[in-house]
Structure formats: C-alpha cells, structure tokens
C-alpha cells in the first residue's frame, strides 16, 4: 500500500522561503522570532496558511503537520468551532484590564478537568507560568533551592534555563550533573538556586533531599519527558518522588505545558495517577491561541490570591484566548474524551507503521512515547530512559537527514524528532505519512 503512493510523491522546492528568509534577516534578528525556528533546512520555512492537519508554505508545498505549532494545535489548524467562537467575540473587544464572565467559565472547566487544580491563574505563555510556579513555591516554603532534571525544559527565562540539552563534556558526572547555562547573558546568580539531577532515578532524588531537603522549595519536572525523546517515568518513580516531596515538605511541580490536555483530558497527572502540588499548563489548553495556566493546591495558590505573591500580565485572560481555550476544553472533554480515543488510534497506527517500515528496510529506528506525542530517533537501544541515554546513544545526524527527506516529501516533524497528533489528522494523512516515511527510511538506509 505505502509503496504505490510513495512513487507518486514529488519532492518539494523552497525557493520562495529562501528568498523571504534573506529579506527577513534585514529586519528581524536572525530572520525569525524564536531561536527554536532556526533549524529547518534549507531555510526556516514561511507558511501561507494552515487548515486542519495541513500546512501550506509560500512555495506551494503541502505538509501533513505533526509540529502543530510545537504542540498547541491539538484540534488542527483553524478549527472551525474555535474560529467561529473567536470571530463572534471580536466585537466585544479584546482587553479590559478587568474581569469578564468567560474567565470564570474557563476556570471552572479547567478545575473540573485537572486533578491538582483547587485554584488556577491564567497567563500567556508556559515560560512565565513556570516562573510563577517557582515564585509561589519559594514563598510557600520560605526556602531557596529548586531541583530540576537534565533534559527537561521549563521555558527560556534565566532562573530555570539550566541543563536543558547540556553538551556532555560540560555536563559533569551523570549522578550529580553540573548546572549548565545554555545562553550567553544569563545571570550566573540565577543558577545558584537550581540543582540539577538525572531523571527517572529515584535514588538520586532521595540522596539529594536527605542532604538538602530543608533548603529545597520545589522539585519541577515534565511528568512525561517530552522535550527529550518522549520518555515515560519508570514504574513507581512519580509515586516515589511524590512521597519524598511530602516527607521533606518540598512543593512538587509538574510542568504539563506539553502533556496537559494532550496525553489525557487532565494531563499526565490524570493519566498516571500522581497528583502534584502545582502544575503548569499551556499549548493544547488554547488550541493554538496564547494562554497558559498555573494551578494547584488551594493553600499554596492562596498566596497569589491574597496578594502576597505577585502575578501579573497585561494580556492575561484576553477575551480571544479565553474564548478559544473555553471552546477547546469543551471539544476535548466532549463524550468522555472521545477525541482522545480517535487520536490514540491514529497515533498507534502511525507508530506501528513506522516500526514496521524500519524493520523491513533495516533502519535502527526507535519509535517511543505515547500515541498523541511520540519521538523517533536512530539508536541501537531498545529504550531511551533519560537525557544522557539520548545524547550518548542516538544518531543526531541520521535524524536530521530523515526529517529533511520527510519534509521534502510533505511531512513536517519537529527538529527533535517529536510528532504530535491532532483531532484533525485523518486515516488518509496517516497513510500519506507512511508513504513518505518509507522513502525517507530507504534514503537514510542508502
Ligand atoms: N515547559 C515545557 C515542558 C515546554 O515544552 C515549553 C515550551 N516548549 C515551555 C515550558 C515554555 O512554554 P512557552 O514556549 O509557552 O513559553
């Protein structure tokens, strides 16, 4: 089946994107507005429009899109139900620096769906709500240190942009990593309050907290590590971390910016059955519109509620984002989360199809993760369990080549090799994707 359609695929050209990129660099620093958009070959691509599971670039190329805005577009591009609701709201105006009714509806729906959410605050981006989480955790405990894990990403701000993808020669020993600051200009002082541990290693948390528990305000992690290879926590790991945090009075924060409303309606905490004290949501929450949330235990969130901990933002709960999120959550929650069953069915077909092709063609492709968010990498390993494993044992060059051939044949995947599913992907999209993947895997093999 895949071979027949594979023969029909015409490789893409990128002349207009390349020309626009030249022009963009005259006015925009680096020609882009996020450093994470720089990686695409032969240039960062320019797009005209998105529709459902598809993106159309300025050269007229069409893509089945698994980037989905880096995860947010869980209902696909321009989902009619969200677009209509947003259009209807526009005549109301967008920003009041005051309250409106939809905020309450969104907060109620959110708190009903998310296990840890007694109270919630909304903001505009994951990075800023991660900052709010760390601030309120420090205020609640009166302590200084924050524990984070190697390979986990919690936004681009100074205080937590530490050891996200550290070069191995600067990363220190595996069991006690040296905090690594990836950006020029970062305040070194910020990193003094951050300790970095290897993930999926309960002993490392136990040893650290037995020594520094009394100084530790919070422990923050992606409960499913989506920013490195989509790694699930080992059996019992989250439960063990939960127990250790309770024992030492440390605030447990789940960064569910990717997993929230993606791996299950209530996020990873609902899927895996471990409830943190605080959690940060963004991306799928707004189905593409900019909105993020910090939610958690009433007594911690009340520090913000009482005004002791400051949280602000001119664009917080602007009408457009609030309406978009409200309708997105309604869509995702409908019929007991039926949308997830369909996304999972398609994700499973895709994951299995990729594995089957790789086996037949002879590629060392590892397809790992969950059906709504999974990763592809080239490795001899049967499983990747943490950042070091990924950095040491996967072939980055091979992945880059695979992704470029996929792109050339109409399939867009994140530069990390992570694929996101949406409710807009169809069986035909999956079939077209597997046809392109067959070409890509064959080309890599050759
Ligand atoms: N946390 C995680 C887990 C993320 O993946 C991201 C973004 N990729 C962020 C935080 C930061 O979110 P934003 O880009 O909205 O600031």
Q: Do residues 254 and 82 lie in contact, with contact meaning Cβ atoms separated by under 8 Å?
A: no
Q: Place 1 in a pLDDT band, splitting at 50, 70 and 90.
A: very low
Q: Which atom of ligand 1 is nearest to the CA of 125?
A: 15
Q: Do residues 239 and 274 lie in contact, with contact meaning Cβ atoms separated by under 8 Å?
A: yes
Average pLDDT, rounded, for the chain: 96
Task: State the residue for tokens 């695409």.
Answer: 40
Average confidence (pLDDT) over 332-351: 96
| The pair of three-digit structure tokens given for residue 168, joined into one six-digit string | 């191995």
153 is catalytic: yes
At residue 11, the pLDDT reads: 81
The one catalytic residue among 255, 277, 386, 408: 255
Q: What is the percent of the chain where pLDDT is above 90?
A: 95
pLDDT, one tens digit per residue, over 387-443 is 999 999 999 999 999 999 999 999 999 999 999 999 999 999 999 999 999 999 999
| The pair of three-digit structure tokens given for residue 283, joined into one six-digit string | 């991306």
* Residue among 73, 133, 153, 223 to mutate when testing ligand 1 (max atoms within 8 A of CB): 153
Q: Which atom of ligand 1 is nearest to the CA of 292?
A: 15
pLDDT at 355 over 50: yes
Q: Place 6 in a pLDDT band, splitting at 50, 70 and 90.
A: low
DSSP state of 75: T
At residue 2, the pLDDT reads: 47
pLDDT, one tens digit per residue, over 75-84 is 999 999 999 9
Measured from the CB, is residue 130 less than 6 Å from ligand 1? Answer: yes
At residue 212, the pLDDT reads: 98
Q: Do residues 122 and 108 lie in contact, with contact meaning Cβ atoms separated by under 8 Å?
A: no
Phi-psi region of 71 (alpha: psi -120 to 50; beta: other; left: phi over 0): left
Q: Which of 6-10, 291-295, 378-382, 441-445 is the least confident region? A: 6-10
255 is catalytic: yes
At residue 186, the pLDDT reads: 95
Q: Place 67 in a pLDDT band, splitting at 50, 70 and 90.
A: very high
Report the distance separating Cα 325 and Cα 328, nearest Å. Answer: 5
The one catalytic residue among 283, 289, 408, 432: 283
Residue environment code for 284-310, b if the CB has 16+ CB neighbours within 10 A, otherwise e: bbbbbbbbbbbbbbeebbebbeeeebe
C-alpha distances in Å from residue 4, one per residue of 62, 169, 252: 19, 46, 51
At residue 39, the pLDDT reads: 81
Q: Which atom of ligand 1 is nearest to the CA of 152?
A: 3
pLDDT at 114 over 70: yes
Report the distance separating Cα 52 and Cα 39, nearest Å. Answer: 24
Average confidence (pLDDT) over 195-222: 98
At residue 7, the pLDDT reads: 52
CA dihedral 101, 102, 107, 109 (to 10 degrees): 120
Residue 288 neighbours by CB under 8 Å, 6+ apart? 69, 72, 73, 75, 77, 82, 324
At residue 4, the pLDDT reads: 46
Whose CA is closest to 202, among 224, 158, 227, 233? Answer: 233
Measured from the CB, is residue 131 less than 6 Å from ligand 1? Answer: no
* Ligand 1 center–CA 102 separation, angstroms: 25
Q: Place 10 in a pLDDT band, splitting at 50, 70 and 90.
A: confident
CA angle 371, 374, 380 (to 5 degrees): 125
Average confidence (pLDDT) over 94-112: 98
pLDDT at 339 over 80: yes
- Kindly report the protein residue whose alpha carbon is nearest to atom 7 of ligand 1: 155
Average confidence (pLDDT) over 296-312: 98
pLDDT at 262 over 60: yes
C-alpha distances in Å from residue 175, one per residue of 178, 195, 198, 207: 10, 12, 6, 10
| The pair of three-digit structure tokens given for residue 214, joined into one six-digit string | 């009394």
Q: Is the pTM of this model over 0.95?
A: yes
* Ligand 1 center–CA 255 separation, angstroms: 8
CA dihedral 161, 163, 166, 171 (to 10 degrees): 140
At residue 8, the pLDDT reads: 61
Measured from the CB, is residue 155 less than 6 Å from ligand 1? Answer: yes
Q: Is 446 helix (H, G, I), strand (E, B) or coil?
A: coil
Task: State the residue for tokens 């050269």.
Answer: 59
Q: Which of 129-133, 150-154, 187-191, 292-296 is the least confident region? A: 187-191
- Kindly report the protein residue whose alpha carbon is nearest to atom 3 of ligand 1: 257
Measured from the CB, is residue 257 less than 6 Å from ligand 1? Answer: yes
At residue 191, the pLDDT reads: 80
């Amino acid at each position: 089946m895949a071979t027949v359609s594979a023969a029909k695929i015409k490789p893409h050209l990128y002349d207009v994107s390349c020309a626009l990129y030249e022009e963009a660099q005259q006015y925009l620093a680096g020609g882009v507005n996020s450093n994470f958009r720089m990686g695409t070959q032969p240039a960062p691509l320019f797009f005209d429009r998105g529709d459902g599971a598809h993106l159309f670039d300025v050269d007229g190329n069409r893509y089945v899109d698994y980037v989905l805005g880096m995860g947010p577009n869980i209902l696909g591009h321009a989902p009619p139900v969200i677009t209509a609701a947003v259009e209807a709201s526009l005549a109301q105006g967008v920003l009041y620096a005051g309250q409106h009714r939809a905020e309450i509806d969104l907060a109620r729906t959110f708190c009903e769906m998310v296990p840890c959410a007694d109270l919630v605050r909304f903001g505009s981006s994951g990075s800023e709500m991660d900052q709010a989480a760390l601030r309120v955790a420090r205020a609640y405990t009166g302590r200084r240190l924050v524990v984070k894990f190697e390979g986990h990403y919690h936004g681009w701000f100074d205080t937590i942009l530490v050891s996200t993808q550290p070069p191995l020669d600067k990363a220190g020993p595996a069991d006690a990593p040296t905090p690594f600051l990836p950006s020029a200009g970062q305040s070194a002082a910020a990193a003094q309050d951050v300790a970095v541990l290897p993930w999926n290693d309960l002993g490392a948390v136990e040893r650290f907290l037995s020594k520094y528990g009394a100084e530790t305000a919070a422990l923050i992690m992606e409960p499913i590590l989506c920013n490195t290879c989509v790694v699930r926590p080992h059996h019992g790991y989250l439960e063990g971390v939960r127990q250790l945090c309770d024992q030492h009075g440390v605030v447990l924060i789940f960064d569910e910016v990717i997993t929230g409303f993606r791996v299950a309606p209530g996020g990873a905490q609902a899927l895996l059955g471990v409830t943190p004290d605080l959690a940060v949501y963004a991306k799928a929450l707004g189905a593409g519109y900019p909105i993020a949330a910090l939610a958690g235990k009433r007594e911690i969130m009340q520090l913000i509620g009482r005004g002791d901990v400051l949280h602000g933002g001119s664009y917080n709960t602007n009408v457009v984002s609030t309406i978009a999120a409200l309708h997105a959550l309604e869509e995702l929650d409908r019929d007991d989360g039926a949308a997830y069953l369909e996304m999972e069915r398609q994700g499973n077909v895709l994951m299995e199809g990729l594995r089957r092709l790789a086996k037949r063609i002879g590629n060392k492709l590892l397809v790992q993760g969950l059906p709504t968010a999974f990763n592809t990498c080239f490795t001899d390993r049967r499983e990747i369990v943490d950042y070091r494993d990924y950095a040491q044992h996967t072939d980055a060059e091979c992945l880059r080549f695979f992704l470029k051939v996929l792109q050339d044949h109409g399939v867009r995947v994140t530069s990390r090799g992570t694929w996101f599913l949406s409710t807009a992907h169809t069986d035909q999209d999956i079939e077209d994707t597997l046809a392109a993947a067959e070409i890509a895997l064959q080309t890599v093999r050759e």
